[in-house]
Structure 1
């Protein structure tokens, strides 16, 4: 009889303890969706919270972009004069790394793996990537549509801009492939925190940036500003992630734990 009563008391207590710590896949998805939305809003609103130092960095970035803009035709001509079969193969490989499909597939794979295995690291990495790339992609889309800059292969020169000109041939400003490649490599490098991995990741991202100029798809200023945009949005996304982690830790500062043993049930509060 005592044993029967023990099991009656133990099973509900164990179930309550389990429910405190186990989260279903749907609940994890909803939480991550909220974190992603908060991250996107945080990244998008950062210019309204910039400090004086941030504006100095912005000024330096624009100055660097202007200097490259002045040299765009010369740099473009250099690439056109220096082509080879081997370099072209490498350029195509690098360009593929910056394809939107590449990062979408990678992000989806990371997230699905995280949900299935319960691995927080991969899920959080996917959330950070999404939080950084959606605002960056929106800015890049607006810039290429509004600037209407002719691509180098159109042979119209670096100065050919036309407001809201439609067509892929006039979407040079800024480089979306470079933005995707740099953002992906930067997020993964900051998450993995390994020098060898970082070298490979930034090497591939650099290959993509070079390929966009080599393949005559972008001017150097397009590539430079695409890279700068990726750094700005990725660092903001990591800042949002840190804030979410801090808030989650504070919420978990009080924990209720059920302990069971022979002929006893324990209830503990940690704070």
Structure 2
């Protein structure tokens, strides 16, 4: 074979290899350019913010069912918490009389005036605070504040319903009328002397305190200290004014705390479920 033919053949092979290389590079580039990127999730994809409408009312009904049915789904840690509440109530019941006498023997005009100012946090102030939060949120278009007020109101309503049922069944004598902490009457007795267990004031203020701590505690660490501090002071006024036994206050606080915690926990689970659904939908596009 002549040298010229060999050169022509080599040139043809190089040209072919170059063409193949170009095709591979182009295919690789085209392949890279077709990778689908999932858009980042927005706040609308991951958060649930309530307004007063049918959705909110339905959520209140669902949260009520959730709260009432939770004991059926309890696991190890839940029974430990129940043991702490029941054990604490039992220990306080054994000391209820002595605690009542200790407060009675230390009553002073100054402390009486102080407790009179704090006591309304358990009935008047708390509902007004929630209502004020809602109106402020609506007027200032602060969706977080509006939502938090509605979550707090829902938690307070549900815990109050459970508390009212418990009080109608357990007709315990108030320390205002009895020295014996173990005076009880039949269920549904319509007599205010037997409305001690649990403490409604403590349930109310603890429900609100827990809701505020759940909503703002992570961003503002001082909120739980202030809210729970006010709750503890309110419970103390009920003992000082001899309106409740110490075990009434303990159970009222426990009921408000755990019901409200459960409702906020369920709300976070619903937001997580919404986020997962949004991610799945975005990946499928």
TM range (shorter): 0.7 to 0.9
- Cα distance in 1 for partners of 2:256, 2:205 equals 9
1:232 is aligned to 258
TM-score (norm 2): 0.74
State the number of aligned residues: 236
* Equivalent residue for 2:157, pick from 134, 157, 167: 134
Q: Which segments of 5 or more consecutive residues in structure 1 lack a partner in the other structure?
A: 1-19, 257-268
- Cα distance in 2 for partners of 1:254, 1:72 equals 56
1:37 is aligned to 61
8 A Cα contact 2:202 2:252, kept in partner:
yes
1:200 is aligned to 226
- Cα distance in 1 for partners of 2:267, 2:250 equals 26
Q: Which moves more between the two structures, 27-36 or 156-165? A: 27-36
Q: Write out per-residue CA displacement over residues 33-84 of structure 1, whole angstroms, 9 at most, x where no aligned residue.
A: 3333332222222112111221122122111111110110000010011011
Q: Which moves more between the two structures, 236-245 or 33-42? A: 33-42
- Cα distance in 2 for partners of 1:245, 1:67 equals 39
1:189 is aligned to 213
1:170 is aligned to 194
The CA RMSD over aligned residues, in Å, is 2.7
8 A Cα contact 2:51 2:147, kept in partner:
no
Q: Write out per-residue CA displacement over residues 105-152 of structure 1, whole angstroms, 9 at most, x where no aligned residue.
A: 222332333344443312321232233222321221122222211111
Matched, 1:242 2:263: no
* Equivalent residue for 1:125, pick from 133, 148, 155: 148
Matched, 1:69 2:93: yes
Q: Which segments of 5 or more consecutive residues in structure 2 lack a partner in the other structure?
A: 1-43
Q: Which moves more between the two structures, 187-196 or 223-232? A: 187-196
Matched, 1:87 2:90: no
- Cα distance in 1 for partners of 2:206, 2:164 equals 17
1:5 is aligned to none
Choose 1 or 2 for highest CA Rg. Answer: 2
